[in-house]
Amino acid sequence: MMVSTKGRYALTVMVDLAKNEDGGYVSLSDIAERENLSMKYLESIISILNKGGMLLSLRGKNGGYKLAREPKDYNINEILLLTEGTLAPVNCIMQDGVQCDKAATCSTLPLWAGLDKVIEGYLSDITLEDIITGNRRKMLKGYCESCDN
């Protein structure tokens, strides 16, 4: 699984909004400046997030974007799935099931299916709130047991 720039930047935008909205709307130009992102690229990412129901938007002088829900109510899996389409580790494991003629006899299919479930489970367990509060213990669970910060 390789998360594209689009997925990484979508997550960056969501984290930025969670940190900076203070109940109001945040302008695209403020996000672009803080995160050092191109406005043009940011517009395409915001469009995906907005159409996917992740954001609320308001036009006008005090307009911009804000989260549609609380940061604790967004998991990272849903954000990445919206922007990436799939997080499957191999092409034959997709959202709509196994897409392979050899599935019945493939000796490695269970490995890839298991890895897909681990990725989905891990990313579903991490929320935007975990990221903005720096919950490293939760994010590094099973990887770095001695990491306290």
- 57 with 65: CB under 8 angstroms? yes
Q: Which residue has the tokens 């367990």?
A: 125
- Can you list the domains of the chain with their CATH numbers? 5-67 (1.10.10.10)
- As a whole number of angstroms, the distance between CA 37 and CA 63 comes to 19
Q: What is the pLDDT of residues 16-56, one digit of tens each?
A: 999 998 879 999 999 999 999 999 999 999 999 999 999 99
Whether pTM > 0.75 for this model: the answer is yes
CA 73/CA 69 separation, integer angstroms: 6
Residue 137 to residue 104: CA distance in whole angstroms: 39
Does position 149 have pLDDT exceeding 60, yes or no? no
Tokens describing residue 11: 């997550």
Task: Give the angle 89-90-96 at the CA atoms, nearest 5°.
Answer: 95
How many Å apart are CA 76 and CA 6, to the nearest integer?
14
How do residues 48-106 score in pLDDT, each as one tens digit?
Answer: 999 999 999 999 988 999 999 999 999 999 999 999 998 988 888 875 666 678 878 88
Token pair listed for 1 = 């699984």
Residue 8 has pLDDT above 60, yes or no: yes
The pLDDT-based confidence of 138 (bands split at 50, 70, 90) is confident
CA distance 45 to 70: 20
- Measuring CA to CA, which residue among 134, 125, 138, 132 is closest to residue 17? 132
Amino acid (1-letter code) at residue 100: C
* pLDDT at residue 78 in the model: 98
pLDDT higher at 142 or 21: 21
